[in-house]
């Protein structure tokens, strides 16, 4: 009984202390809220109701009459930028930076926000300068991410590599992006007729990311341009071990290289073997074109019809109808054209490349998505044959 009595006393004490603490906290919150102007809550209500224009009006008036409200001025600058009123956002954040009594953290925050304003306005040089000044601050990592965006937009690939290397951590190694930056540098060097420099960049790309298909594609192109077709073939064949889905990107190049080496039959057998192992639409197109060019349209048509019996797909059917329409007599061609147009419309999505990150569709393959700017996000096959 004595043990239970002590517990009752302790419970009563803890309850009393908790009640007093809650009273103190509530009084503190109420006293703080009384210090805030009524307009602050009015503006907040407009924001919560998605009435941004009304909120801006209220906060502008509030900032004019209460210049000491730093947080409010930050919020107002953000609202201006969100509404597209970049000049007003710049003025607001510049005004904050000019305040001598501003705490170091607030000054850095204003500098970061001003850099975002310049970036939104397309003034990349001014944004870059401000982001660079934040290197040793709490905003350093966020600033570097924006610098990376700027360098990619301006095609400053060496600077992009440097920043990406600073950003890499266990959650994101940036190896895909850095390898792509080296590939971009290689393309620039190739355009300037600097093949040795381009080759060096591509080796760095593969050292960064050994499965960088694009690097081997370009290495093969450089070798072929110099007449080193054996070396070119070796580069392109490495793609199979990197990602076989990209083999169609090299298939026509391979056929041309084998032709120049007077080994056309070997080249044809190679791409037909790829199709048998990796039955994808793009490789089907390559083989069909090869048979039509080296043998005859009739043989190519018979081969395609037989291939579709083994691997039936809608894109393959479109290819077959195309071949039928091309060879049909005039009185039959009009009828086939109507059928072909209807099937084309129904299967349009199957003949396009898709970005795995944002879903953007395009007839052309992009190493970097034009919509979301992700690298290597496009799936390499337009329409896939069933395995």
Question: Residues 277-286: pLDDT tens digits?
Answer: 998 878 888 9
Fold of 39-154: 1.25.40
CA distances from residue 16 to 3, 10, 24, 27 in whole angstroms, order as listed = 21, 10, 12, 17
Q: Say what the pLDDT of residue 96 is.
A: 84
Is 345 buried (19+), middle (13-18) or exposed (0-12) by CB count in 10 A?
A: exposed
CA distances from residue 27 to 18, 32, 35, 156, 343 in whole angstroms, order as listed = 14, 9, 13, 56, 72
Q: Say what the pLDDT of residue 384 is.
A: 40
Residues in contact with 187: Cβ distance below 8 Å, sequence separation at least 6, in sequence order: 198, 218
Residues linked to residue 10 through DSSP beta bridges, in sequence order: none
Whole-angstrom Cα distance, residue 190 to residue 178?
A: 18
235 is in an annotated binding site: no
Q: Say what the pLDDT of residue 349 is.
A: 58
Domain regions of the chain by residue span: 39-154
358 is in an annotated binding site: yes
264-268, long-range: CB < 8 A, 24+ apart? 264/294, 268/294
Q: Which of 385, 341, 380 shows the shortest CA–CA distance to 362?
A: 380
Q: Which of 330, 325, 329 shows the shortest CA–CA distance to 344?
A: 325
The list of the chain residues with pLDDT below 70 reads 1-69, 314-315, 324-328, 331, 333-336, 339-340, 343-350, 383-387
Whole-angstrom Cα distance, residue 118 to residue 350?
A: 41
Residue position matching structure tokens 């019809």:
305
The secondary element (H helix, E strand) that includes residue 179 is: helix 175-191
Residues in contact with 354: Cβ distance below 8 Å, sequence separation at least 6, in sequence order: 360, 361, 378, 379
Question: Residues 77-124: pLDDT tens digits?
Answer: 887 888 888 998 898 898 888 888 888 999 999 999 999 999 999 999
369 is in an annotated binding site: yes
Whole-angstrom Cα distance, residue 373 to residue 343?
A: 32
Q: Say what the pLDDT of residue 382 is.
A: 75
Cβ–Cβ < 8 Å for 87, 120: no
Q: Say what the pLDDT of residue 359 is.
A: 87
Whole-angstrom Cα distance, residue 108 to residue 278?
A: 55
355 is in an annotated binding site: yes
């Amino acid at each position: 009984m004595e043990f239970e009595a002590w517990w009752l006393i302790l419970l009563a004490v803890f309850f009393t202390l908790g009640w007093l603490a809650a009273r103190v906290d509530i009084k503190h919150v109420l006293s703080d809220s009384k210090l805030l102007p009524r307009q602050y809550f009015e503006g907040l209500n407009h924001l919560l109701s998605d009435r941004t224009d009304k909120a801006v009006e209220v906060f502008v008036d509030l900032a004019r009459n209460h210049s000491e409200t730093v947080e409010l001025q930050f919020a107002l600058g953000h609202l201006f930028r969100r509404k597209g009123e970049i000049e007003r956002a710049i003025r607001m954040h510049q005004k904050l930076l000019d305040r001598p009594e501003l705490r170091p953290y607030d000054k850095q925050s204003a500098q970061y926000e001003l850099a975002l304003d310049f970036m939104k306005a397309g003034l990349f040089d001014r944004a870059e300068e401000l982001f660079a000044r934040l290197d040793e601050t709490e905003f350093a990592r966020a600033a570097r991410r924006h610098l990376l965006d700027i360098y990619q937009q301006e095609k400053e690939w060496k600077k992009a590599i440097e920043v990406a290397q600073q950003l890499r951590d266990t959650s994101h190694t940036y190896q895909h992006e850095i390898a792509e930056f080296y590939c971009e540098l290689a393309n620039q060097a190739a355009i300037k007729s600097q093949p040795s420099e381009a080759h060096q960049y591509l080796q760095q790309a593969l050292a960064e990311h050994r499965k960088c298909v694009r690097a081997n594609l370009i290495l093969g192109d450089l070798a072929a341009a110099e007449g080193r077709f054996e070396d070119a073939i070796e580069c392109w064949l490495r793609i199979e071990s990197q990602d076989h889905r990209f083999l169609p990107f090299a298939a026509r190049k391979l056929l041309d290289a084998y032709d120049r080496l007077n080994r056309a039959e070997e080249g044809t057998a190679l791409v037909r073997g790829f199709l048998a192992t990796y039955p994808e639409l793009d490789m089907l197109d390559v083989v069909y074109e090869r048979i039509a060019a080296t043998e005859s349209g009739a043989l190519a048509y018979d081969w395609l019809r037989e291939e579709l019996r083994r691997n039936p797909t809608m894109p393959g059917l479109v290819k077959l109808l195309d071949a039928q329409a091309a060879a049909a007599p005039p009185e039959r061609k009009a009828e086939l054209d109507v059928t072909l147009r209807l099937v084309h419309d129904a299967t349009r999505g199957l003949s396009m490349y898709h970005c795995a990150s944002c879903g953007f569709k395009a007839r052309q393959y992009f190493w970097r998505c034009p919509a979301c700017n992700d690298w290597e996000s496009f799936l390499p096959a337009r329409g896939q044959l069933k395995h």
